[in-house]
Amino acid sequence: MGRRGDNAFKRNDAIRALRSARDAGLEPVAMEVVLGPDGSVTFRIFGENTASKGTDAAGARAWDAEIEKLKGRGKG
């Protein structure tokens, strides 16, 4: 078996994200790990109603833009 590559995040980071979602009142049903080009890691936690509502590409871009603003890296 080949050697694994370096992980961009640790198991505890994912557990912390799930616990934070639960503390905020969201019962997680799915989690997506997004690795940024600069090595950053974003956890997207999806709740029960997310699957029924769906998300279009424009909505996802708007959320990503707002997250970047909060991080202080975005334009606008």
Residue 30 is classified by DSSP as: E
Tens-place pLDDT, residues 7-52: 667 889 999 999 999 998 888 888 998 888 888 888 999 887 665 5
pLDDT of residue 23: 92
Report pLDDT for 19: 93
pTM score: 0.55
| CA distance linking residue 47 with residue 21, whole number of Å | 9
- Which residues on neighbouring strands pair with residue 42, listed in sequence order? 34
What pLDDT shows up at residue 2? 58
Please tell me the distance from the alpha carbon of residue 71 to that of residue 38, in angstroms, as a whole number.
13
